[in-house]
Amino acid sequence: MSLKKLMKNELIEMSLENKKYSETIDHLLIKNFFYDNIPLANEITTIKQEIKIENRIADIFIKLNNGKKVVIEIQHSKISKSDLMQRTKEYNQEGIYVLWVLDGNGPYDRKPNTESEMFISISEKELHKMYRGRVYYINAADTGILAPVYALHFPPCFEKKRSSFGYEYYKQSKTKRSGVYYEISSLQLNLFKNKGFKLARFFDKNIKLQCISEVVHFLNAFIAFQSKKPAEAKRLCPDGLLLGVIIQKFYLKYGLYLLFDVLRTLKFCTVRDARFMFQKELWFQKSILP
């Protein structure tokens, strides 16, 4: 049966070891995407779909040339934290590394772009910890793959509050996160261990670490420039507030919340500076840089 004919049906009926189950078209398309593309970026001996491993059915099973085994779990529906960890643990007990990829076009409703505020699920928070500052997504529909694999980093966001005395301040939100999108350039698998789990991810660089590296490089270059050409540095930063120059340089690429998180990590600013930093009109209604 052709794929075109399959896509006319709402569900695809498949048979596995005399058991019937239903598979949505987007699930099939995502599995085929990994089945076709993982071998292009990795040295493998085996890749199979829908493999029974003890009590689980792995979406994609991979055996690398070095003998290591990996399963890719494609999650369409919301999953609890306990189920997420239990399934990962069960695969690990069989010596298998696990790569979780969420369907961003399903109930998670994630798009490949940067957003300032969003509610994320408990399982996404756990995956963010497990995968050291990233969650992987892929978007598919009946018409095909809408967005290949991408990652979202979830730095904390801050909400404006008002004290009983009328003073405005910013406080880290307990319910919301910001989301910073970045592309996955290669599907080459990177096996590692974290939080007691054997996990697989791609060879993408943690976006926060990348931002830290670029900000540090920029600061060092600006300080060197300032010592050589103080008059020109004064023109670029007329009020002496280097924070404004940093925001102008990086906010479009990383967003204010990730940038603020990085500056706090570098001890360049504190939570007390949040109100000052998030008053966008201070920086975006006038051009600091030429």
Q: Which of the residue ranges 118-122, 182-186, 226-230 would you say has the lowest mean pLDDT? A: 226-230
Q: What is the pLDDT of residues 38-76, one digit of tens each?
A: 999 999 999 999 999 988 999 999 999 999 999 999 998
Q: How far is CA 173 from CA 4, 25, 110, 216, 280, in A?
A: 46, 37, 20, 27, 19
- Distance, in Å, from the CA atom of 285 to the CA atom of 51, rounded to the nearest integer, reads 57
- pLDDT for 4: 43
Q: Which of the residue ranges 105-109, 243-247, 285-289 would you say has the lowest mean pLDDT? A: 285-289
Q: What is the pLDDT of residues 183-196, one digit of tens each?
A: 999 999 999 999 89
Structure pTM? 0.84
Question: Is residue 160 pLDDT above 60, yes or no?
Answer: yes
- pLDDT for 196: 94
Percent of the chain with pLDDT over 90: 53
